[in-house]
Amino acid sequence: MTKNKLARFAEMKTFPNVIEPEFQEVFDRDYRLKGRWHEAVFENDHPIVLELGCGKGEYTVNLARRYPDHNFIGIDIKGARMWRGAKTALEENIPNAIFLRTRIDFITSFFGKEEVKAIWVTFPDPQPKKARKRLISTKFLTYYQQFIQNNAAIHLKTDNPNIYRYMLAIIRENKINLLHAENDVHGSDNNQLNDIRKIQTFYEKQFLEDQKKIKYVAFTLDKHQKLKEPPDD
C-alpha cells in the first residue's frame, strides 16, 4: 500500500462522517445503526438516499449540496476513494452526506424496514461472467426490497452496454415500472444543464474521454414483488 493511501486511511479514522464497521459487526448480524440512522446519525427525519459503489462519492456530495432536506449515504468498500468525498463534505460543512465503508453484500445488516427512500447505483462493476454479483442483479434488488419504502426510485448510471441491456431485461422480465431510460445522457441536449443526470463521477469522466456513451435508467421498485432473473442473452 502506498504511503499516501495509508495516510488517507489513518485520516479517515478521524472523520466524523465516515463509518467503518468491523466484519464481525455486520456478518450474519444487524449493525447497531440498523433502523436508527435518522435518530442516531442525522438527527432529523429527512428521507435517506443511498449511493452504492460510490467511489469518491460525487453523487453523494452533489446531491447533498442540492437537497439539504434529504440525507445521503455513499457506500463502497474502497476506503482511499471514499476519503475524497468524505473530505469534501467535511471541508464544505455538508452535514447530510455520510459515508459507509462496507461490502454491499452485507447491506441488509445496515438498514431497517422502509428506512431508505431512493438508491443511486453509479457505474457498477460490469461482472461480465457473474450476473449475480452485479449491484443491480435481482439478487441485490431483492436485498434492497427489504429496506426501501415501497415503490422507491432506483437510478442507474453506466457506460457499459451489457449492464444497460441487462437492467432493461430485468425491468421487462418483471414488468417493472420504468421511469426513464436514456442511452446517451451527455449527448442529448434535451436536458437542462443542472439536471442531476449531468453530475459526472470520477469514472464517468474517464469513460467520456474514451468517447463512451453514458446511459441512465430509473425505475420504481415494488418491495413486495418476487423478482425473476431474465434469461441470459
Ligand X SMILES: C[S@@+](CC[C@H](N)C(=O)[O-])C[C@H]1O[C@@H](n2cnc3c(N)ncnc32)[C@H](O)[C@@H]1O
Nearer to ligand X, 96 or 155 (CB): 155
Q: In terms of Cα–Cα distance, which of 180, 189, 186 is closest to 204? A: 186
Element (H, E) at 138: helix 138-145
Residue 51 or 115 having the CB closest to ligand X: 51
Binding stretches for ligand X (CB under 6 A): 53-56, 76-78, 81, 103-105, 122-123, 125, 135, 201-204
Tell me the C-alpha distance between 181 and 157, whole Å. Answer: 10
Instruction: State the Cα–Cα distance between residues 19 and 15, nearest whole angstrom.
Output: 9
Which residues are annotated as catalytic? 125
Using the structure block, give the residue that is written with the C-alpha cell 450474519: 28
Residue 43 beta carbon to ligand X: minimum distance, rounded to whole angstroms:
26
CB of 96 to ligand X, least distance (A): 19
Reading the block at residue 120, the C-alpha cell is 443511486
E strand or H helix at 214: none
Give least dist CB 113 to ligand X, A: 22
Name the residue nearer to ligand X (CB basis): 38 or 80. Answer: 80
